[in-house]
Amino acid sequence: MDLVLLDAELRRDEGVRYVPYFDQFGNPTVGIGHLLTGAPIPQGWTYPLTDDQVTQLENHDIQIALASLNLHLSWWSAMDEVRQRVIANMCFQLGINRLLGFHNTLASMQAGNYAVAAAGMKNSLWYGQSGDRSIRLCQAMLTGVMPDEPVI
């Protein structure tokens, strides 16, 4: 999977913040969607974070998402590149435990029934809470083409 494209998509979808803020659910967050309740910033770091620190947090969070996908959904890496980025993006945003709640959607992805998977994504609470991101990811799951792919 192209991690450079995933990085660009996450930066677009999550935004980049150098000081803590509260996300839409009231969770303290910093960087590129990094939840501070799950993993505080390393000791000695101060705000505002630097670009390198934001990138370090993001890379760590991406690695956790990918390792979680490999552990719980080993079939995900057999999907095409775009659909891999869709599920990685969702895992980054939701965490593996909430992603695993998409039982029927994940089963459809695994079976290669991407129209049903996209419909399942659209028929979820996540879809209504994630704005343009969910619209774009559903379209990418359906077609295998990422709309508005970031220029890198």
For the 3-143 domain, the top CATH level (class) is mainly alpha
**Which residue has better confidence, 66 or 147?**
66
**pLDDT of 151 over the 90 cut:** no
Tell me the average pLDDT across 5-24: 95
Exposure letters 36-48 (e unless 16+ CB within 10 A, then b): beeeebeeeeeee
Give the pLDDT confidence score for residue 108 in this predicted structure.
98
**pLDDT of 152 over the 80 cut:** no
**pTM recorded for the entire structure:** 0.93
Give the pLDDT confidence score for residue 133 in this predicted structure.
95
Tell me the average pLDDT across 16-41: 94
